[in-house]
Amino acid sequence: MATVNLGKIKLKWKGGWNSSDTFTADDVVSYTDGSVTSSYIAVATSTNQVPSTGGSPNSSYWEYLAKGQATSPTTTQGDLIVRGASADERLAIGSAGQALKVNGAGNGFTYGVAGGLLQAKQWVKNSVISNNNQSDSVLASPFDGTARITPAAAGNIIKVSYFNSIDHGSNWRSNKLRLEWSSDGGSTYYGLAGCCITTGDYTSEMYGNNGNMTVMFNPNTTNEVRVRVITNGHNSGAGNRHGQYMNEGSDNSVLNMDTVNGVIATGHAILLEEYASAIASVTAIA
């Protein structure tokens, strides 16, 4: 009687694939390729032929019967899934204030300081302040502590940039300017930086002078930080037109700033910036 080979008349479950067994067509196995467990059906007889590698089936001997889904590599709140060299991987969250950026090798991601400048706030005074006090005096707003910034983290560095052009009367000699800061709402101020605007020779007056200060400091707090300006004019010739840079001489009357296309070009302003402690530092030398 003739024998007709029908082959397998149903799929044959062989359990987990192993390298020592011989599999024939229509055998079905499970196999974990990386982190993905799938079922495979044999399409040819084989021994020690892994069903798939790197997500690609060994199609000379095996095809997917049902492809599995990778289990999530995440374990902790804030984890991200990123592709590693051959499979998805977990990327743990970074520290507060850090940003996600490309790693040094250029083939993945890492958390770290990005940029470093965290915030910048500027106050511009669009009018001239008249005052010629010859004692330490808190300058008018916004130079009276109105300029404020709140650091995101203790240890971050605050940078202050301040400029002021000062006109004067008929006996211009010099004017002191001093920056101070407070982190307790203005009850206690600490010295920061100072400068003196001077003609050098009061008998050869220079009509209008400019003071610039750029300085960084570490308030070591997350409290709001206020910065103010102290002015103090020479007792025989104080500045008395703060923010006035017009080159009109000593007539002691002009209070204008230039206006260009309807916009005032100010003569005094203060800028506060916060830098991450990872990229900024202040060194004081006795």
Task: List residues near other proteins by CB under 8 A.
Answer: 125, 127-133, 135-141, 144-145, 168-172, 230, 233, 237-240, 250, 252-256
Q: What's the closest the beta carbon of residue 223 comes to other proteins, in angstroms? A: 19
In this structure, the chain runs to a length of 286
* Rg, C-alpha atoms of the chain: 37
Helix (H) or strand (E) holding 240: strand 239-242
Pick between residue 52 and residue 175 the one whose CB is nearest to other proteins.
Answer: 175
- To 5 degrees, how large is the angle CA 254–CA 265–CA 200? 60
Q: What's the closest the beta carbon of residue 167 comes to other proteins, in angstroms? A: 11
Q: What's the closest the beta carbon of residue 270 comes to other proteins, in angstroms? A: 15
Annotate 162-218 with DSSP letters as a single string. Answer: EEEEEEE-SS--EEEEEEEEESSTTSS-EEEEEEEEE-S-TTS--S-EEEEEEEEE-
Pick between residue 49 and residue 131 the one whose CB is nearest to other proteins.
Answer: 131
Q: What's the closest the beta carbon of residue 238 comes to other proteins, in angstroms? A: 4
Pick between residue 73 and residue 186 the one whose CB is nearest to other proteins.
Answer: 186
Q: What's the closest the beta carbon of residue 240 comes to other proteins, in angstroms? A: 6
| 272's tokens | 């506060």
Pick between residue 28 and residue 129 the one whose CB is nearest to other proteins.
Answer: 129
Cα 262 vs. chain centroid, distance in angstroms?
34
Pick between residue 159 and residue 168 the one whose CB is nearest to other proteins.
Answer: 168
